[in-house]
A and B are shown apart, each in its own frame.
Chain A
Amino acid sequence: MRIETDQRSSAGAEGPTRTRRFRVFRYKRGDRGPRYETFDVPVEARTTVLDAMRWIQLHVDPSLAIRHSCSHASCGTCGVRVDGREVLMCVTPVEDLGREITVEPVANLPVLTDLVVDMRAFYARYPDEHPLVRESELLPGAKTPEGIATYVRYEDCIECGLCLSACPIAATDDRYVGPAALAAAERIVEERRGADLAALLAWADEPDGVWRCHAIFECTRACPSDVRPAERIMTLRGMLARGHAPMEEAR
């Protein structure tokens, strides 16, 4: 089968082309400070913020640096702040935004250039290597084929840093390990996969751990992948307050 198509359609779908104005955070190493640059970008019904940034790279300024990879909210690289709100560019339609749209890097991580942050500062907060796959609880009615006792699937967290960016405590204290790392720790407590539970809980109990959280739940609001970091921080606190780990008993 072959689909006939118009290869010239640019960033999206059908419908009239309109223009939106983007105010984009710009910074190159050695600059005296950041500045905002304005671009008028033609948009269509399904144009995303990522499409718009790539249009700027392609048609106006190839030096605009952005992070992106999967284009479907699965890799977590394209997290930014749009009009002050934490989003993944690839699943944020321009249509839902105003006439002038401000795009800035995520907060609470050092900016490398333009919209690119240094993710080393994000991963440095994690307790240790955290597993990528977990037991799959999805599609529970399905049998597994012989040879596969339990399906595994990727963890929900896509390591985008949006929760850390949205966290008001992380904004005032860069030693706080923050919601992503604590949520990852809670997932290991929930499903150990060979980890040292006592060491992990001791790590979470440190002064820069779970007790720094003020339970504002901005992380859960910002999460594009339904990890619910704030609830997981509360779970860890509950366990620490009770002085034991219920999952250990359950296993």
Chain B
Amino acid sequence: MSSAPAHVLIVGGGGTGGALAHDLALRGLAVTLVERGEITSGTTGRHHGLLHSGARYAVRDPASAVECIQENRILRRICPGSFEENDGLFVALTEEDMEYLEPFLEACAACGIPTQPLTPAEALALEPNLNPDLKAAVRVPDATMDAMRMPLRFFATAKANGARILPYVEVVDLLVRDRVVSGARVRDHVTGREGEIRADVVVNAAGPWSGKIARMAGVDLPIRPSPGVLVAVRGRLCNMVLSRLHRPGDGDLIVPQRGLSVLGTSSWTVHDPDDLGVPEDHVRTMCEEGARLVPAVARAERRAAWSAARPLVGSRGEAETGRELSRTFKTFDHRESDGVEGFVTITGGKGTTLRAMAEACADVVCAKLGIDAECRTRETVLLPHTAYYTDGR
């Protein structure tokens, strides 16, 4: 037996892969991460930039809500200076919204999410652009994150701790023999050459593309790529993150960010996460629904409209819109689920829970390798995002 540390190959350079590289590097493993494009170019960077308090999920998906509030607190601690710490308001506009108020407050309390109910006058003093007909508002600890630079701190720190981060390196196939995965065949888009990367465990962290990677090992993964449309308009129309106080639906979120306001989002399901399109009817819905929360949205200039695909865990053919699927995450050890050794998938979840996803997955990886090492990511303050480009300077 060799004394070299076990080598883990992570496929996918989104927030999950970055956080996993960081976690495993801290636990003393040798880590290589490959990403076919730029880091965070898949779902992570296209995220609306909401650091969830969990309030959005408290009523219908309490497991996700609890994960969110715990991770919200941890991320503020380990990523200081990476958030617009602006909090969020859930805003009731209709009588139907008001019926949601009590269950919402109770569910938030049950999940440990602090709330502060506000009168319409109090809410309007904080957010003068709100629809003046609002009936109530609730303050929660949401915040705005930079959807690229916050995750980049995990990559920067992983790199400083010895992880090899290889963007522009695409997995073209997994190395599989007798139902054992031992690495990947990759194409390096910097050199144009192909090669092999051997590993003791391969972790599939490819988000909505994880079904495609799993098929390379003959595994059928219950992942539904579920895109949503987002629209950025010019002007910071609110300071806090604004959400509609009702069951999560289309266009019920406004995330202020720099001098922009991001309107989101919709939800449908696709088979190919590369071919999403930006349906103009969804864009219209984002603008119309956003204007119900903040009327000035109707007059704001559109800066961009785009789609991003969530990797939701479910079974094929089950969900139609993606809203029914839990936003929690799942680690699959494919030895147990499919009889394939050396292969693990981490998927589902969301930007806010990237660290927890990594911890859960790293626990599985270490158990597989017989490594007894504790997770240290809850306390480790991350390097600034710039360290990713300065080789730890």
State the majority secondary structure of interface residues on A: loop
Who on chain A is nearest to B285 by CB?
A: A3
Interface string of A15-28 (1 = CB under 8 A from B): 00000000000001
Interchain CB contact under 8 A, A7 and B41: no
Residue from B44, B278, B281 having most chain A Cβ neighbours under 10 A = B278
Stretch at the interface among A94-102, A111-119, A214-222, A235-243: A111-119
Do B278 and A46 touch (CB < 8 A)? yes
A137-145, A168-176, A197-205: which lies at the interface? A137-145
Q: Are A77 and B84 in contact (CB under 8 A)?
A: no
Contact assessment for A72 and B303 in the assembled complex, using a CB-CB cutoff below 8 Å: yes
In contact, A148 and B168 (Cβ under 8 angstroms) = no
B186, chain A: closest CB distance, angstroms: 12
Chain A residues whose CB sits within 8 angstroms of the CB of B262 once the complex forms: 72
Shortest CB distance B323–A (Å)? 8
Chain B residues lying within 8 Å of A6, measured Cβ to Cβ, are 279
Contacts of A72 in B (CB 8 A): 230, 232, 260, 262, 303-304, 306
**How far, in angstroms, from A67 to B190 measured CA to CA in the complex?**
12
Contact with A along B75-114 (1 / 0, CB 8 A): 0000001111111000000000000000000000000000
CA distance A66 to B147 in the complex (A): 18
Which has the most chain B C-beta neighbours within 10 Å: A4, A64, A70? A70
**Residue contact B45 to A75, C-beta cutoff 8 Å:** yes
B residues less than 8 Å from A74 (CB atoms) = 49, 146-148, 232, 257-258, 260
In the complex, whether B391 has a CB less than 8 A from a CB of chain A is yes
Could you tell me the distance between the alpha carbons of A114 and B188 in the complex, rounded to whole angstroms?
Answer: 13
Instruction: Name A15's closest neighbour in chain B (CB-CB).
Output: B280
Given A67-B41, A225-B258, are A28 and B279 neighbors across the interface (CB < 8 Å)?
Answer: no
For the complex formed, measure the closest distance between the CB of B25 and the CB atoms of chain A, giving whole angstroms. Answer: 20
Cα distance A4–B266 in the bound complex, in angstroms: 11
Q: Which of B121-129, B174-182, B344-352 is found at the contact surface with chain A?
A: B121-129
Which of chain B's residues have a CB closer than 8 A to the CB of A120?
A: 389-391
Contact indicator A9/B279 (Cβ below 8 Å): yes
Most chain A Cβ neighbours within 10 Å, of B82, B144, B281, B308: B281
Given A148-B87, A151-B239: A7 in contact with B277 (beta carbons within 8 A): yes
Which residue of B189, B249, B282 is within 8 Å of A65 (Cβ)? B189
Q: Please name all residues of chain A whose beta carbon is closer than 8 Å to the beta carbon of B281 when the two chains form the complex.
A: 3-5
Which one of A73, A132, A142 contacts B146 once the chains associate, using CB atoms below 8 Å? A132
Point out the residues of chain B lying under 8 angstroms from A151, CB to CB: 84, 86, 239
**A70-88 vs B: 1/0 string, CB under 8 Å?**
1111110100000000000
Known: A69-B148, A116-B38. A141 touches B84 (CB 8 A): no
4 nearest A-B residue pairs (beta carbon): A69-B45, A71-B306, A72-B304, A72-B232
**Residues of A participating in the B interface, judged by any CB pair closer than 8 Å:** 1-14, 28-30, 46, 48, 54, 58, 62-75, 77, 90-91, 112-114, 116, 119-120, 122-124, 126, 129-133, 136, 138-139, 141-145, 148, 151-156, 158, 225-226
Return 23 A-B CB contacts under 8 Å, by A number: A7-B270, A10-B275, A13-B280, A14-B280, A46-B278, A67-B41, A69-B44, A69-B147, A71-B45, A72-B260, A72-B303, A73-B303, A73-B304, A74-B232, A75-B45, A116-B38, A119-B389, A120-B390, A136-B84, A138-B259, A144-B239, A153-B236, A154-B144
